[in-house]
Amino acid sequence: MQSLAVFIEVILPLPLQGTFTYRVPRDLQGHAEVGRRVVVQFGKKKLYTGIISQVHDTPPKDYQAKYVDDVLDDQPVVLNSQLRFWQWMHPYYMCHLGEVANAALPSGLKLSSESRLTVHPDYSGETDGLEEDELNILEALQNNTFLTMDDLATILRRQNVMPMIRSMAERQLVVQYEELQEKFKPKHETVYRLSDELKDDAAMESAFVDLKRAPKQLEALMLFLHLMKRSSKDGETLRAETLLADAQTTTDALSNLVKRGFLQKETVEIARLHDQSAWAEQGVLLSDRQQLAMAAIQGEFETKDAVLLHGVTGSGKTEIYIRIIEQILEDGKQVLYMLPEIALTAQIINRLQEYFGERVGLYHSRMSDNERVEVWKRQLSNEPYGVVLGARSALFLPFKNLGLAILDEEHEHTFKQHDPAPRYHARDAVAFLCKQEGAKLLLGSATPSIAAYYNGTRGRIGLVQLTERFGGVKMPHIEICDLRHERKEQTMKGPFSSQLLQRISETVARRQQVIIFQNRRGFSSYVQCNTCGWVPDCINCDISLTYHKYSQDLRCHYCGHSDRVPHVCPKCQSTYIRTQGFGTEQIEEELSIHFPNSVVARMDLDTTRGKHAYQRIINDFEEQRIDILVGTQMVTKGLDFDHVGLVGVLNADSLLNYPDFRAFERAYQLMAQVSGRAGRKGKRGLVVVQTSEPTHFIIEKVVQNDYEGMYHSELVQRKQYRYPPFIRLIAITVKHRERDMVDRAADALAKALMPVPDKLVLGPEYPMVQRIRNQYNKQILIKLGGGDIALRKAQIFDIIQQFRQDKEFRSVHFQPDVDPV
C-alpha cells in the first residue's frame, strides 16, 4: 500500500501573509516535525530556511507544491508554545506571521541563500569578442572558485551588475547559483586527555623513566597530572590554554607527549558564554516593609495573574524580586526578568549571578549572533537557564516551564518596538505569554505607567505599594532653579545656573558623585549662521543636523547621514557660524573646564556603542573612578549607585513642552526617576531642577513626590479627550518618496476607514518631521472605543491589505502601529 504524501506548512521570515505549503520527499518524511527548520526554494531561485508550523496530508488546491530541499535540525528549535505565541502576536499587532518569526529568531538561526557566480563547465576559454568588464570577471574567477554579487560590484565599480551576468550566462560563459550558508558557527578549543595506557601505575612509572632525558616533556606531564588531581574529576580533559598558562610548558612539549602516546589531543565544542559559579546560598534579608510587600504580592498572586509593585526609588524592589525568584526556582520553574535598557542588564546581571550563579543567562541585542544562538539552544536543552535576564527580545526565547516574568521599570517606552514590525509592547506581549504558559507576571516601577496603575486601582491586576526607601533613607530634597531669574541677573554660565554650579562644587568637595541629566546627545543642537540665519539640514530628512565635536561632523540622528562642518555659510558667505543649544558632549566639556580636578564622563548612545561600553562606564562610576556622569535617559533608568549626592536636571522645559498627550506623564517619570539616583545609601540626596516654569503643575508634583496627584490629573484629561486607558489607539503611517503620492494614499485610506464602526479617525496629518530617509510620512490616528476590538483591528488590517495590493498604491508603505507610544 502506497504511503500518503506528506505536506508541511512553513513560516518564512518574510513580510508575507500566512504560511506556505511544501511537499516533503520520502527520504525526509521521518524528519518533518513541527518546530524544525527546513530549507525551501521560494520564488524562482532563492533559498530560505523556514519553521515547520504544521504537518498534514492535504495538497494545496491552487498550485503544485514544491519539494523541501532539506531538514536542518535533529530536534525542534521552536517549541509549540512559541508558535502559539506567534499566532497571537501577528493579528494583535496587525503584522504578518513571517515578521513575527523574523523578530523572534536570532539571526544565526535564519538562513537565506546568496547568489554566486562561477565559470560555466562548457566555457572553452575563448576571449575573442568579450568586453573588458567580462574579461575582468572571468580573470577573477580563475583565481576564485566563485564570486558573490558584492565581489562583482567591487570589480566592476558599479551596483547594477545583473544585465551583464544574464548576458554572460546566456552565452554559457558563467553560471549563477544560490548557496545557503550556515550562520551559526560553534566555538571550538583544544583539550588534552590522559592516555588510557598511563592509567596503570606501572605504565606511569615507565613513562617517567622514558622522559628523564626530555625534561620539558616530563615537566608538562607532571603539570597535567597535578591539575588533574586538583580537578578531582574522572576522565577530565584540560584546556590547552590552561596548560600553556604555565611558563614552563610549551606547545612542542605537549605535541611530543601526544606523539609518544602519553596524552590524547582533542577538539571540543565549547560555550562562548561562561557561567558564574559563585552563589550565595543565604539569600537576601528583607526589611519589615519589604517582607510585608512580598507577602502582599504572594497574596495577590493567589487570585490574579499579574501584580504591579509600585515602590519609590531606592525602596528595594530588586531584593523582593530576588526572593520571589528563589521561590520560583525551588518549585522547578523558570523566570524571565526583563529590563528596558541593556545598560541596566550590565548592572543587574552581576547581582543576580551573585545569588543564583550559573542558573542565570543573559539575552539582548548587543550579544553576538553566535552568543544568542547558544542561549537559545541552552533553553531547548535539558539544563536550561533558570533565570533569563534581558531586554524586550528575551520574551521570544523558548521556555519549557515558565513560572514568573518580571518587567522592571514597566513604565519605560523603550519596551515598545518601533521598527521593523511587529511593533509590539513587551508589557502587553509578556502578559499574554504568561497567561498562555500559566505563569505569573510582576510589574515594577517607582513611576508606573498610567495604564498599569489604572488597571491596578480598578482591580484588573494586583497593586502593592512600597512607599519608603530601604533603611529609612529619606527621599532626595529637590531644589527648583528659576532660569528666568538667573538670566535676568546674568548669572548663567552656558547651560549651568550659578545655583547648580555651587551645588556641584559642594558635592565633589564632600567626595560624593554627581549625575547631570540632559536629554540630547551630541555637542550642540545645531549650527547656525548668525548673519543670515542659515542652518544646515539633513539631505534625507526634514531635520537640522546635530554637531558632534568629537568626530568633527554634523550628524542626523534619524538616518545617520553626516556632513562636514562648514567654515563659510553657503548662503551669504559669512564666516560667523556658531553652535546653538547644548548636547551631552558639550555639557561634558564645559564641566571639565569648571571642575578641572574632577573626572567627568558621558553615558549616551555615542559612548555606549561598543559591546562592553555600558559595563565599563557603570563599573567606573560604581568604583568612584568617575566624579561627574553626564547622560541622556540612560542614566534615569533604575541604576543603583551608592555615592551619588547630587542630580542635576538641566532643562526640564524640553520635557514639559513636547507635543504628545503623554508629555506630562513622561516628564514626571523622567524627573522622578533621575532624582531617585541621589542619596540611595546613607545621607539624603539633593536634586536641582533647572526650569523657566518653576510653578508648573508637573514640577510641583515632582518636588512633592506626588505620583497620585499627577495620575489623577492626567486621568481626568484623558477621559475628557478620549485617550488611553479609556480607549485603544492605532496609528497608521503612510510613506512614499513623493509627497503627492503620500497625500493621495493617506486621504484615500482615511476615507476607506470611515465605515469601520466604533472608531474615530483623526487625520491624516504630517508629523513634526515630515520626511525621514527620503520618505514623506503622513499619519492617521484611529481611536477604538467599545465593541469587539479584535474584530475592528481585523477589519482595519484587511483595508490596509487591499491598499497594499492596489496597483495605484503598490509602491506606498502602510505601517500600522497598535498601541503607539
- Distance between CA atoms of residues 600 and 623, nearest Å: 14
Across 473-480, average pLDDT: 88
Whether 283 is covered by a domain: the verdict is: no
Q: Which residues contact 308 (CB under 8 A, 6 or more apart)?
A: 410, 443, 444, 445, 448, 452, 453, 455, 456, 461, 462, 463, 464
Lowest mean per-residue pLDDT among 100-114, 310-324, 494-508, 726-740: 100-114
**Same domain, yes or no: 145 and 174:** yes
At 376, which CATH number?
A: 3.40.50.300
First to last CA, the chain: 60
3-state class of 631 per DSSP? strand
Q: What is the pLDDT of residue 231?
A: 63
- Name the residue with higher pLDDT: 228 or 741: 741
**Same domain, yes or no: 618 and 643:** yes
Q: Which residues contact 127 (CB under 8 A, 6 or more apart)?
A: 135, 138
Q: Which of 688, 333, 303, 637 lies closest to 495 in space, CA to CA?
A: 688
3-state class of 578 per DSSP? strand
Q: Contact at 8 Å (CB) between 190 and 265?
A: yes
- Distance between CA atoms of residues 230 and 394, nearest Å: 38
Across 193-200, average pLDDT: 82
Whether 280 is covered by a domain: the verdict is: no
At 742, which CATH number?
A: 3.30.70.600
- Distance between CA atoms of residues 317 and 199, nearest Å: 55
Q: Contact at 8 Å (CB) between 453 and 310?
A: yes
Whether the predicted pLDDT of 607 surpasses 80: no
Q: Which of 32, 369, 316, 310 lies closest to 182 in space, CA to CA?
A: 369
**What is the amino acid identity at position 141?**
L
Residues of the domain holding 732:
728-818
Lowest mean per-residue pLDDT among 83-92, 481-490, 600-609: 600-609
Q: Which residues contact 80 (CB under 8 A, 6 or more apart)?
A: 34, 35
**Same domain, yes or no: 511 and 530:** no
Across 325-336, average pLDDT: 96
Whether the predicted pLDDT of 66 surpasses 80: yes
Across 463-469, average pLDDT: 90
Q: Which residues pair with 24 in a beta bridge?
A: 6
pLDDT category of residue 279 using cuts at 50, 70 and 90: very low
**Same domain, yes or no: 702 and 659:** yes
Q: What is the pLDDT of residue 605?
A: 77
Across 29-41, average pLDDT: 92
Q: Which of 521, 519, 514 lies closest to 677 in space, CA to CA?
A: 514
**Same domain, yes or no: 449 and 598:** no
- Distance between CA atoms of residues 548 and 288, nearest Å: 50
Across 197-224, average pLDDT: 84
State how far the alpha carbon of 263 is from the alpha carbons of 51, 195, 224, 235, 255, in Å.
Answer: 44, 5, 9, 12, 9
- Distance between CA atoms of residues 765 and 744, nearest Å: 12
How buried is 244 (Cβ within 10 angstroms: 0-12 exposed, 13-18 middle, 19+ buried)? middle
Whether the predicted pLDDT of 187 surpasses 80: no
Whether 190 is covered by a domain: the verdict is: no
The last residue of one of the domains, among 65, 93, 109, is 109
Give DSSP secondary structure letters for 459-521. Answer: TSSEEEEE-S-GGGPPPPEEEEEEHHHHHHTT--BTTB-HHHHHHHHHHHHTT-EEEEE-S--
pLDDT category of residue 281 using cuts at 50, 70 and 90: very low
Q: Strand order of the sheet with strand 263-270?
A: 238-239, 187-194, 263-270
- 486: its cell numbers: 538667573
At 66, which CATH number?
A: 3.40.1440.60
Q: What is the pLDDT of residue 3?
A: 55
**Same domain, yes or no: 103 and 17:** yes
State how far the alpha carbon of 281 is from the alpha carbons of 294, 329, 354, 355, 707, in Å.
Answer: 19, 13, 9, 7, 37
Q: What are phi and psi of 601, to 5 degrees?
A: -135, 165
**Same domain, yes or no: 588 and 511:** yes
- 590: its cell numbers: 564645559
**Same domain, yes or no: 544 and 559:** yes
Q: What is the pLDDT of residue 183?
A: 60
Q: Which of 397, 380, 280, 295 lies closest to 338 in space, CA to CA?
A: 397
Q: What are the start-end ranges of the E strands in 321-375?
A: 334-338, 360-363
Percentage of residues in the chain with pLDDT exceeding 90? Answer: 52
Whether 276 is covered by a domain: the verdict is: no
For residue 61, the 8-state DSSP code is S
**Same domain, yes or no: 421 and 455:** yes
Residue with cell 588531581: 229
Parallel, antiparallel or unpaired: strands 526-529 and 577-580: antiparallel
- Over residues 776-799, the pLDDT tens digits come to 999 999 999 878 899 999 999 999
Percentage of residues in the chain with pLDDT exceeding 70? Answer: 94
What is the rounded average pLDDT for all residues in the chain?
Answer: 88
The last residue of one of the domains, among 156, 180, 204, is 180
**What is the amino acid identity at position 379?**
Q
- 29: its cell numbers: 518524511
Helices (H) and strands (E) counted in the chain, each on its own, are 25, 34
3-state class of 547 per DSSP? strand
Whether 270 is covered by a domain: the verdict is: no
**Same domain, yes or no: 84 and 19:** yes
- Distance between CA atoms of residues 12 and 521, nearest Å: 39
Across 308-317, average pLDDT: 90
Question: Domain tally for the chain?
Answer: 7
Whether 185 is covered by a domain: the verdict is: no
The last residue of one of the domains, among 77, 109, 141, is 109
- Name the residue with higher pLDDT: 103 or 244: 103
- Over residues 651-701, the pLDDT tens digits come to 898 888 888 899 999 999 989 888 888 876 667 889 999 999 999 999 999
- Distance between CA atoms of residues 29 and 71, nearest Å: 9
Overall size of the chain counted in residues: 821
Whether the predicted pLDDT of 277 surpasses 50: no
Whether 271 is covered by a domain: the verdict is: no
- Over residues 621-640, the pLDDT tens digits come to 888 999 999 988 877 766 77
Q: What is the pLDDT of residue 238?
A: 79
Whether 266 is covered by a domain: the verdict is: no
Q: Contact at 8 Å (CB) between 251 and 244?
A: yes
Q: What are phi and psi of 564, to 5 degrees?
A: -75, 160
3-state class of 610 per DSSP? coil
HSE value, Cβ hemisphere, 13 Å, CA-based, for 104: 28
Q: Which residues contact 567 (CB under 8 A, 6 or more apart)?
A: 575, 577
Q: Which of 451, 468, 439 lies closest to 705 in space, CA to CA?
A: 468
**Same domain, yes or no: 105 and 117:** no
**Same domain, yes or no: 657 and 763:** no
